[in-house]
Amino acid sequence: MADCMQEWPEPIVRVQAVAESGLAAIPGCYVKPPRDRPAQQHLAAGGDNVLREPSDDSIPVIDLGELLAAGEGRIDGLITEAVAAACRDWGFFQVVNHGVAPELMRAVREAWRGFFRLPISAKQQYANQPRTYEGYGSRVGVQKGGPLDWGDYYFLHLAPEAAKSPDKYWPTNPAICKEVSEEYGREVTRLCEVLMKVLSASLGLEEARFQEAFGGAECGACLRANYYPRCPQPDLTLGLSAHSDPGVLTVLLADEHVRGLQVRRADGEWVTVQPVRDDAFIVNVGDQIQILSNSVYTSVEHRVIVNAKEERISLALFYNPKGDVPIAPAPELVTPDRPPLYPPMTFDEYRVYIRKNGPRGKAQLEGFKGQAVPGTGNK
C-alpha cells in the first residue's frame, strides 16, 4: 500500500476524550457543512437533542426461521421475493430468527461496551495505523485536515484464518473480548453464507453463484465495533459520515437502547432505523453486490447521528470478497440493454479508496461507472 498509508496525517485525538473534556461547543474539525447535518426533525424539540420516537418502521423485516428450520436447501419463492424487494427498494433489511443466539449477541455487545468504557490510557496500546486499520481508531482516511466524525472504533479481521488479526491486536480487557467476538464472527459469517444463497436465488442465479464469485470459503469477515460518545452539539456533526460499504454484505448489531443509524431512502430523505427487536440484525448490501449484480441491487448510503444524552455502540460485521479475486458484473446479468457497468477489480484494490479518503457517500462506485470495461463496446 502507498506510503501515505503508513501513518496518520495528524496526531489522533480520541472522540471520547473530547466528549469527556466537557466542551460546550465541538471543535471545528467535527462540524459538518450545513447540507450534511442531521435534519432538525430527527433531533428532539426543546433543545436537548435526544432522539425522538421512531420515525420509521418500514425497513423490511425478513424472518429466516422457517428457512433455517427446513434446512438451507429449501429457499422458497416467498423469501427470495421478500429479499429481492428489500434490496431493490431499500438496499437494507432486518433479519429475525436468524440462528445467532441472543445470549451471544448480548455477550458480544457487553464485551465491547466494557472495552470502550475503559479509560483512554488503557486503550491506547491498541492504537491503530492506516496500514491495516486493525485496533483502536478514531478516523478513517489519511487526508491532512480532513473532516472527522464523532466516533471511536475498533477494527479486526476475523476470517479467513490466514488473515485473522494476530493476538497483539486483541484487547485483553475485558478478557472475554476475543473469545466472544470470534464465536460471534463464526456465527454471523454462517448467516452471511445463508444470505448469499438467498441473494443469488433472488436474482435467478444458482444459489452458490455469489459465494463462488466472491472467493468461496476464503471470503473475508471483519468486525468494526463503533463507539459514539455523547455529543454537546449533535445537530452539527455525525457519528459516521454518509457512505456505502465497500464489501459484500454488512450485518449490523445496533445498540439496543439508542438509535442512530440513518439510511438514505430512494427519494433522498434520511430515515432513522428502528431495530424491530433487540436481537434483530440490520443487513445491507455492499458495493461488491452492486458490481456483481450489474446494479440490479445497489448499495445504499447510510450514516450515523449522535445525541447529547446517551452514548451509543454498534457492531458491524463486514462480509468481504477474497482480496485478490477480480469482481465484475456476472455475465448472466449483462444484456444488450444492460452492458457491464463496472470494470473488474479486486477487493484489495477497491478498499484502498475508502481507507485513503474516508467515507465519501457513493463517490467511489459512481467514479467507476463508465470507465472502460474490457471486451465490451461499453466505454
Ligand X SMILES: O=C(O)CCC(=O)C(=O)O
| Residue in this structure with the C-alpha cell 437502547, named with its chain if needed | 257
User: Among 19, 156, 201, 261, which residue interacts with ligand X (rule: CB under 6 A)?
Assistant: 261
Q: Which residues contact 38 (CB under 8 A, 6 or more apart)?
A: 234, 235, 238, 262, 270, 305
Beta strands at 135-137 and 249-253: parallel, antiparallel or unpaired: unpaired
Span near ligand X by CB under 6 A; candidates 17-25, 76-84, 137-145, 252-260? 252-260
Which CB sits closer to ligand X, 123 or 243? 243
The answer to whether the beta carbons of residues 283 and 92 sit under 8 Å apart is yes
Which CB sits closer to ligand X, 302 or 351? 302
Question: At its nearest, how many Å lie between ligand X and the CB of residue 276?
Answer: 15
Which CB sits closer to ligand X, 147 or 343? 147
Question: At its nearest, how many Å lie between ligand X and the CB of residue 360?
Answer: 13
Which CB sits closer to ligand X, 201 or 304? 304
The answer to whether the beta carbons of residues 311 and 228 sit under 8 Å apart is yes
Question: At its nearest, how many Å lie between ligand X and the CB of residue 252?
Answer: 6
Q: How many whole angstroms separate alpha carbon 35 and alpha carbon 364?
A: 20
Which CB sits closer to ligand X, 94 or 294? 94
Question: At its nearest, how many Å lie between ligand X and the CB of residue 132?
Answer: 17
| Residue in this structure with the C-alpha cell 428489500, named with its chain if needed | 86
Cell of 351: 478498499
How remote is the C-alpha of 343 from its chain's centroid? 23
Distances (CA, A) of 176 to 169, 173, 277, 312: 14, 7, 25, 21
Cell of 195: 444470505
Helix or strand holding residue 342 (H, E): none
Within residues 312-331, the interface with ligand X by CB under 6 A covers 314, 316
Asked if 302 touches ligand X (CB under 6 A), the answer is: yes
Question: At its nearest, how many Å lie between ligand X and the CB of residue 280?
Answer: 13
Within residues 210-229, the interface with ligand X by CB under 6 A covers 224, 226
Which CB sits closer to ligand X, 197 or 224? 224
User: Among 240, 291, 305, 328, which residue interacts with ligand X (rule: CB under 6 A)?
Assistant: 240
Which CB sits closer to ligand X, 201 or 251? 251
Rounded to 5°, angle at Cα 352 from 351 and 353: 90
Helix or strand holding residue 193 (H, E): helix 177-202
Span near ligand X by CB under 6 A; candidates 129-137, 159-167, 253-261, 345-353? 253-261
SS3 301: coil
Which CB sits closer to ligand X, 16 or 226? 226
Q: How many whole angstroms separate alpha carbon 228 and alpha carbon 14?
A: 11
Question: At its nearest, how many Å lie between ligand X and the CB of residue 110?
Answer: 17
User: Among 86, 252, 263, 328, which residue interacts with ligand X (rule: CB under 6 A)?
Assistant: 252
User: Among 192, 198, 254, 341, which residue interacts with ligand X (rule: CB under 6 A)?
Assistant: 254
Exposure string of 171-182, with b = 16+ CB inside 10 Å and e = fewer, is: beebeebbebbb
Which CB sits closer to ligand X, 242 or 291? 242
Cell of 53: 420516537
Span near ligand X by CB under 6 A; candidates 196-204, 207-215, 254-262, 331-339? 254-262
DSSP string, 16-72: HHHHHTT-SS--GGGPPPGGGSPPGGGB-GGGT--B-S-----S-EEE-HHHHHH-T
Asked if 304 touches ligand X (CB under 6 A), the answer is: yes
Interface size with ligand X, residues (CB under 6 A): 12
Question: At its nearest, how many Å lie between ligand X and the CB of residue 137?
Answer: 11
Question: At its nearest, how many Å lie between ligand X and the CB of residue 368?
Answer: 20
Which CB sits closer to ligand X, 80 or 255? 255
In the complex, which residues of this chain contact ligand X (CB under 6 A)?
A: 224, 226, 240, 245, 252, 254, 260-261, 302, 304, 314, 316
